[in-house]
Every structure is written in C-alpha cells, then in structure tokens.
Amino acid sequence: MRGRGQGEAANAQTLDTLQRTQIEMTGRLSQLAEASNVAQAELGRSVNSRLDELSKRMTESQNNVQLEFAKAMNDRLDALGKRVSDNLTLSAEKTSQTITGLEKRLAVIDEAQKHIANLSGQVVSLQDILANKQARGAFGEIQLNDIVRNALPPSAYAFQVTLGNGKRADCLITLPNPPGAIAIDSKFPLESYRALHDAKEEPARIAAGRAFAAAIQKHVRDIAERYIVPGETAESAIMFLPSEAVYAELHANFGQVVAASHQAHVWIVSPTTLMATLNTVRAILKDAQMREQAGVIQKEVQTLLQDVVRLEKRTENLRRHFGNMEKDVREIETSTGKIIRRAERIEEIQVEEADSLNNPAIASDTATPSETAQPAQGSRTAPLLTGEGPLQTGEGE
C-alpha cells in the first residue's frame, strides 16, 4: 500500500509539473501569437507600402514607356509617311513617263499600222500584177531595165530588140565577138511556183514540184530556141528571175533543172547574180575597148618617142650654143680686162706728164739723153692715142 501511495504521489507531482509546463507553453504560445500578429501587421503595412511604391513606379515607368513608344511611333509614322509620299511622287513620275512612252509607242504603232496597211495594199497590188502575165512581164522588164541601166553604159545594151528570126528579146547585151550579143528574157513561171509554195500535203508538194520543174525546163527550151541565133547572138542566153525566192528554191531543191539549163546554154540569174554578171560584162567591155584602142595608143607612143628624140637633139644643140656663148663670154671678159689695164696705164702716164709740166726743173733733171735728142717725136701719149707702140694688140690676144 505504501509503495502504491508513493507511486500515486509521484504521478500527481508529474501531472502537476506537466500542467505547469502546459500553462507556460500556452502563455508562450499566446505571446508568440501576439508577436506573430504584430509582425504580420507590420509585414502587411510594409508590403502594402512597397506595393504602393512599386505600383507608382510601374505607373510612371509605364507612362514613360507609353510616351516614348508614342514618340517613336509618331517618328516612324512620319518617316513612313514621307517615304510613302516620296514613293508615290516617284511612282507618279514613272507612271507619267510610262504613259508618255506608251503614247509615243502607240503613235509609232499607229504609224506602223498605217504603213502596214499601205504595204498590204501594195502587196495586193503586187499580187494583182504578178497574177497577170502581161503585168508580170512588165514588172520583170522594169526591174531588168533598172539593173542594166545602173550597171552598163548606154552603148552596151538595147531593150526590146527584134532578132533576125523575128523574136523580140527583152534586153540585148552587145558584146564583141567572141562571145557576141547576149539576149536576156525577164519572164518567169510564177503560177507553178505559187502552187509549189501553197502545197501543204506531201503528195501535193511532190506534184507541184514536178510541175514547177517542167515549167522551168520548158521556159529554158523556149529561150534557147528563140534567143540563141547562130551568127547573130552568142551561143548562150540569160533567163532573168525577178524574185530571189524563186531563184533560191530552184537552186536549193531543183539542181537537175539548173544542170539542164546549163546544157541548153541558158544561164538562170536573180537580181543579185545579174548585177554580178553585168559587172563582169562591164569588165569585158573595158578590155575590148582597150584592145580596140591599142593601135591608136601604140601610134601615139611612137609619135611621142619621135618628139622625145627631137627634143633631145634640140637640147644638145642648145647645150652646144650655151658652150659657145660661154667661150664668147670668157673672151669678152679677157678683152674687158685688157681694156681696163690699158686705161689704168694711160691714166698713170697722164698723171706723170701733168707732174712734169707743173715742175719743168724736175722734168729736165730726170730727162734721159734720148728724150732730149728726139724732141720731134712729141710726147709719149701720141703712140698710145694713135694705136701705135707696144700697147697695140690683135683680136687673138
């Protein structure tokens, strides 16, 4: 029992200690709660103050940023507006220039359309001319006349010449023999060429090509029969095609026809090749004229040689006369020198006589016995003046 009581007393003491400890802990907790509330209130006031200050700063910063942004935006908008205005001005100028250029080009196009319309009318007129055989022949003759007149002198050709067989050649080139006069025909088979050109299908093109070759060969034979007249014309004739296209087609795809024309001594030419041929003819004519004038030139050269020989003889005679004149001049100079010397000697003698007359004493003193012994001969000037004495000389001196 005693032990039990001691245990309860210890428990009671422990419980009392625990209660006091709890009370102390409760007081401390209350103090901590109050301190925490005070600290929390202080913290709230501090946080609110800082938040207010931060809000104020953020508001000011935001206002500054907005002002700077607005200023930057205004500057950029002004720059953009200026650039847009400049671009619009430049675009307007370019647009104006483009419109002006377009107007000029449209004017050129309108003018070109007018020219095209005129050319179309001329082409239609040319087609009408080429469709008519007589008109086509006249067209070829006109072109032939222009080429021949520009290439040859008037004496080297004649148009619409009637040959001995009664056939009339469109043009006759008068060359010396050989080869002789060459006839030119300006007609050509245009219908067969048109049929060949218009043919689209291969069979039609082959048939048109055969017809074209046959027409050309027939025309070549007709020219050979009509315009190659033995004894009157050359052994060949010329077939003039006034179209380069027909000439090119013929030489490009119908070589056998060209070879047949060569065998028939008919030379097919176009405006270009005819000009080259006529230039060769002009050279032949010049060579023939040179040969014709060779005799005259040789005679003139011989006459010129005779004149040169005669001139050489006359030059030799003139040289001989000049030699004689030079000899005469030398003799004249010799005689002139002698005359001058004589005059000087006469002048000296006259001076001595004058001195002796002025001083007779000196003269008597200087006189020689011979001078005193022959007073009748007179003074020493007498023989000089009469040509006697030692100064007289002949012409040969």
Domain boundaries defined on the chain: 75-131, 136-292, 295-353
Residue position matching structure tokens 């056998």: 256
Q: Which of 194, 148, 203, 199 is nearest to 170 (CA)?
A: 148
Q: Report CA-CA distances (Å) from 268 to 137, 192, 197.
A: 16, 17, 20
User: What string of pLDDT tens digits covers the 397 residues of the chain?
Assistant: 566 667 777 787 888 888 888 888 888 888 888 888 888 888 888 888 888 888 888 888 888 888 888 888 888 888 888 888 888 888 888 888 888 888 888 888 888 877 787 776 555 454 554 555 555 556 678 888 888 888 888 888 898 888 888 888 889 988 877 778 889 988 877 778 888 888 888 888 889 888 988 989 999 999 999 998 888 888 889 999 888 888 888 888 888 999 999 999 999 998 888 888 888 888 888 877 777 677 777 788 888 888 888 888 888 888 888 888 888 888 888 888 888 888 888 877 766 666 666 665 544 444 444 444 444 444 444 343 334 344 444 444 3
The SS3 of residue 333 is helix
Cβ neighbours around 309 below 10 Å, total: 10
Question: How many whole angstroms separate alpha carbon 94 and alpha carbon 87?
Answer: 10
Question: How many whole angstroms separate alpha carbon 185 and alpha carbon 222?
Answer: 10
Give the CATH number of domain 136-292.
Answer: 3.40.1350
What does the pLDDT read at residue 376? 41
Residue position matching structure tokens 């102390």: 24
What does the pLDDT read at residue 259? 92
Cβ neighbours around 148 below 10 Å, total: 23
Q: Which of 131, 217, 215, 218 is nearest to 207 (CA)?
A: 215
What does the pLDDT read at residue 84? 84
Q: Which of 149, 170, 143, 138 is nearest to 237 (CA)?
A: 170
- Check: CB of residue 169 under 8 Å from CB of residue 159: no
What does the pLDDT read at residue 2? 60
What does the pLDDT read at residue 298? 78
Question: How many whole angstroms separate alpha carbon 366 and alpha carbon 179?
Answer: 115
Q: Tokens representing 387?
A: 């040509």
